[in-house]
Amino acid sequence: PAEPPADAPVRVRPEIAAMPTYKQGRQADASAHKLSSNENPFEPLPGVLEALAAATEINRYPDATAAALRARLAARYGVDLEAVHVAAGSVSILAQLIAATAGAGDEVLYAWRSFEAYPLLVTVAGATSVTVPVGPDGRHDLAAMAAAVTPRTRVVLVCSPNNPTGPAVRRAEFESFLAALPSDLLVVLDEAYAEFVTDPEAVDGLGPAGYRDRPQVVVLRTFSKAFGLAGLRIGYAIGHPRVLDAARATAIPLSVTAQAERAALASLEMEPALRERVAALVERRDRLVAGLREAGWRVPDAQGNFVWLATGEQTMQVAARFDEAGLIVRPFAGDGVRISVGADESVDSVIRIAASVVEGLP
């Protein structure tokens, strides 16, 4: 492990000092399209803003258990109140579940490349990341992941659709994967982009053939993407009450604001209108993928609200080309560029720049 910086005024754990900080895409000015954070490009619905404005008691702490929202979600998914957990973004729940199950000497297994927060959260917990590369098609290699489980593995994170590569895990392969795992191993199915999935074979952790009755599986969902509440920080998990109790035990108390809870409740009331927006984004996504493929890019199946270009060593140059055109994308150096599905007019601009770039690639 790297030495902590000599100029640190206090002792920092060396593994923390060596950590890269979470990088956010550059903030956009008015003329640019911010396509770097998989956000929902639509402005909030008026009804959601009204619900927010109604939450005026900011001199009071919020309800620590977010009981109203949990009750609503419990009814929706047909589970007990205790089988629902709400936190300040699904990334908080990931942190809680990892902290609750994995410590020094323990392993957390996930595919790579996947969500950038995974390695950070594992390191903060003091545990060790074990990664299995996604295939050239951007898919999880679940057989290789099952083979990578050791007696020290405490959690497996499965991201479906996978951020940033795009494909969703298939139900059948997920079933075989679960069957191959030790029965007491926690599997977190991270479905932050579930609402955008159109692959009929994709796993749906909360669908009719979901995992409510599998005590080892926790399904993560968020209001950040399809519901457009990224700025309010609110997400949830459905899982076994005892597993979620462990997550609740590690949670920083009172992190979910009353505003976030109210906006989430209002969003659930307005779900049909929000689903229409999701359908529009899915249509844009599919148009984007078709245009990129036509331009000569090999684009993996895109099941979220983003697409992946495997640009390898050219990644930073390609990202700069988009940037110059007012399209802020997310580069992962040496690997690829992730582009979110944004405003309608951004779709054609992305295709145009991508088409001009592909000619310059080896």
In the complex, the residues that contact ligand PMP under the rule CB under 6 A are: 38, 89-91, 115, 159, 163, 190, 192, 222, 224, 230, 235
Judge contact between 324 and 264, C-beta under 8 A.
no
Distance CA 180, CA 175 (A): 9
Which residues, in sequence order, are CB contacts of 69 under 8 Å at separation 6+?
Answer: 86, 234, 236, 261, 264, 265
DSSP state of 341: -
Which CB, 91 or 247, lies closer to ligand PMP? 91
Distance CA 228, CA 268 (A): 12
Looking at the DSSP bridge assignments, the partners of residue 328 are 34
Which residues, in sequence order, are CB contacts of 150 under 8 Å at separation 6+?
Answer: 107, 130
Min CB(190)–ligand PMP separation in Å: 5
Which CB, 220 or 309, lies closer to ligand PMP? 220
Min CB(338)–ligand PMP separation in Å: 10
Which CB, 163 or 311, lies closer to ligand PMP? 163
Min CB(95)–ligand PMP separation in Å: 10
Give the pairing type, strands 84-87 and 235-238. Answer: antiparallel
Min CB(183)–ligand PMP separation in Å: 25
Which CB, 220 or 299, lies closer to ligand PMP? 220
Give the pairing type, strands 153-159 and 217-222. Answer: unpaired
Min CB(346)–ligand PMP separation in Å: 19
Which CB, 303 or 314, lies closer to ligand PMP? 303
Distance CA 291, CA 27 (A): 26
CB atoms within 10 A of CB 198: 13
Q: Which residue has the tokens 């940033």?
A: 164
Distance CA 277, CA 226 (A): 8
Min CB(6)–ligand PMP separation in Å: 34
Min CB(100)–ligand PMP separation in Å: 17
Which CB, 224 or 314, lies closer to ligand PMP? 224
Which CB, 96 or 224, lies closer to ligand PMP? 224
Give the pairing type, strands 153-159 and 128-133. Answer: unpaired
